[in-house]
């Protein structure tokens, strides 16, 4: 069975639904990626690696992961910390704003709770995925532990996949993020950035400049997402720019990149070529943005993915 480990934070999401009522769900970039990968490729073992607390919310979060089919064997439990929370507010113009309580979350302690069992299991995986958010939230004093761990995982032959997902407010400074990202680019053979990550952090707006920036690193598969415009991929001598099908009514772009990543990772692991993986991932993301929130109803998601996979299989015959 193909195995993927995704390392990051999942939080309780609160969203005002009616007067004095909050709709609650669970979300976080890497968690969203894991959910969409598992939904699209149920045959793969998708493990979510994180740290939670020993509280009722943590239990509900794990139950939610399990209900999505995620493997939770790599979740560790802090005795002193609890999960993070965020509130999504939408103003009269439909603009969303986010309020976070995550500075003291259990996920920040994940490296302190890393044990031999987790190390061994991750070293047996096919792919290890993490994001710039996974890095940003780690307790600063634990960064060295993370890079040491990643080095072990890489040496064990696991494909390292990374999405920078730059969020300025999570970093002490842009320079701090650039330093950490340089280590991530060096360690990763698959990198899945959004074009915006590079424009905000490095002042690079043109695709060719981003590709040139990535050139010195040993990235085997570079997939650059450019919103509703196109997706670009370079893998060795292979290059592809694929136009994205327009979506008539975008409701909420939360999780667009995350769902793209999950489906792309799963598709590549399942043996689809880069063009097919991009097509599948982009149509998944195109659907996700037509619903509010990070995680959309599974029946809508599955219907689209299954139909497309069937079309690929038909073509292959
Ligand atoms: P990120 O969130 O990582 O910055 P993007 O914003 O580029 O990523 O979006 C990820 C993917 O979601 C895109 O590659 C595309 O497939 C899809 N997507 C995003 N915005 C749109 C849109 N307006 N119309 C159609 N598809 C979109």
User: What's the 228 CA to ligand 1 centre distance in angstroms?
Assistant: 5
| Closest protein CA for atom 6 of ligand 1 | 227
pLDDT value at position 200? 96
Give the CA angle between residues 88, 113, 139 to the nearest 5°: 55
Provide the CATH number for the domain around residue 150. 3.40.1190.20
Ligand 1, residue 192: give the atom nearest the CA. Answer: 3
User: What's the 66 CA to ligand 1 centre distance in angstroms?
Assistant: 27
- Cα–Cα distances (Å) from 277 to 152, 156, 196, 305, in that order, read 28, 26, 21, 11
Report DSSP state, residue 165. Answer: -
User: What's the 154 CA to ligand 1 centre distance in angstroms?
Assistant: 29
Instruction: Give catalytic residue positions.
Output: 258
| Closest protein CA for atom 23 of ligand 1 | 228
In the chain, the N- to C-terminal Cα span, in Å, equals 24
Give the DSSP per-residue string, 287-299: HHTTSSSSS--HH
Instruction: Tell me the residue range of the domain where 288 lies.
Output: 4-316
Of 244, 258, 287, 288, the one to substitute when testing ligand 1's pocket (max ligand atoms within 8 A of C-beta) is: 244
pLDDT value at position 159? 98
Ligand 1, residue 255: give the atom nearest the CA. Answer: 2
For the four alpha carbons of 128, 269, 291 and 93, in that order, the dihedral sign comes to positive
Instruction: Please count the structural domains in the chain.
Output: 1
User: What's the 245 CA to ligand 1 centre distance in angstroms?
Assistant: 10
User: What's the 176 CA to ligand 1 centre distance in angstroms?
Assistant: 26
Over the range 46-77, which residues count as b (16 or more CB within 10 Å of their CB) and which as e? bbbbbbbbeeebbeebbebbeebebbeebbbb
Per-residue pLDDT of the chain (317 residues; tens, 9 = 90+): 999 999 999 999 998 877 789 999 999 999 999 999 999 999 999 999 999 999 999 999 999 999 999 999 999 999 999 999 999 887 777 678 889 999 999 999 999 999 999 999 999 999 999 999 999 999 999 999 999 999 999 999 999 999 999 999 999 999 999 999 999 999 999 999 999 999 999 999 999 999 999 999 999 999 999 999 999 999 999 999 999 999 999 988 989 999 999 999 999 999 999 999 999 999 999 999 999 889 999 999 999 999 998 888 888 77
Closest listed residue to residue 252, CA positions, set 297, 298, 292, 194? 292
| Closest protein CA for atom 1 of ligand 1 | 257
What gap in Å lies between CA 287 and CA 44, rounded to an integer?
22
- List the beta strands (DSSP E) in 28-68: 45-52
Ligand 1, residue 281: give the atom nearest the CA. Answer: 16
Find the residues whose C-beta lies inside 6 A of ligand 1: 194, 196, 225-228, 231, 244, 246-247, 250, 253, 256-257, 260, 282, 285-286, 289
What gap in Å lies between CA 254 and CA 276, rounded to an integer?
23
Ligand 1, residue 250: give the atom nearest the CA. Answer: 23
* Residue 184, CB-side half-sphere exposure with 13 Å CA sphere: 26
For residue 121, the tally of other CB atoms under 10 A from its CB is 16
pLDDT value at position 33? 98
Q: Which two tokens stand for residue 67?
A: 């209900």
């Amino acid at each position: 069975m193909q195995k993927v480990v995704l390392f990051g934070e999942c939080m309780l999401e609160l969203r005002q639904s009616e007067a004095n009522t909050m709709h609650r769900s669970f979300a976080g970039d890497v968690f969203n990626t894991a959910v969409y990968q598992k939904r699209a490729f149920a045959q793969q073992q998708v493990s979510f690696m994180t740290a939670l607390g020993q509280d009722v919310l943590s239990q509900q979060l794990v139950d939610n992961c399990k209900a999505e089919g995620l493997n939770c064997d790599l979740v560790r439990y802090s005795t002193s910390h609890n999960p993070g929370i965020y509130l999504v507010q939408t103003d009269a113009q439909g603009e969303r704003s986010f309020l976070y309580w995550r500075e003291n979350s259990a996920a920040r302690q994940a490296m302190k709770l890393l044990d031999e069992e987790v190390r061994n299991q991750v070293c047996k995986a096919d792919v290890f995925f993490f994001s710039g958010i996974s890095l940003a939230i780690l307790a600063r004093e634990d960064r060295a532990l993370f890079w040491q761990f990643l080095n072990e995982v890489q040496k064990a032959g696991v494909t390292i996949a990374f999405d920078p997902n730059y969020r300025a407010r999570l970093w002490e400074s842009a320079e701090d993020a650039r330093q950490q990202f340089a280590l991530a680019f060096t360690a990763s053979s698959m990198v899945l950035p959004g074009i915006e990550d590079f424009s905000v952090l490095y002042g690079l707006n043109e695709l060719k400049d981003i590709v040139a920036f990535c050139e010195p690193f040993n990235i085997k598969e570079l997939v650059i997402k450019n919103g509703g415009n196109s997706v670009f991929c370079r893998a060795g001598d292979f290059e592809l720019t694929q136009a994205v099908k327009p979506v008539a009514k975008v409701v909420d772009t939360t999780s667009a990149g995350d769902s793209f990543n999950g489906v792309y990772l799963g598709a590549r692991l399942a043996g689809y070529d880069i063009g097919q993986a991009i097509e599948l991932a982009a149509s998944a993301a195109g659907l996700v943005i037509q619903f509010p929130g990070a995680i959309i109803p599974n029946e809508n998601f599955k219907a689209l993915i299954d139909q497309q996979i069937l079309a690929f299989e038909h073509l292959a015959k």
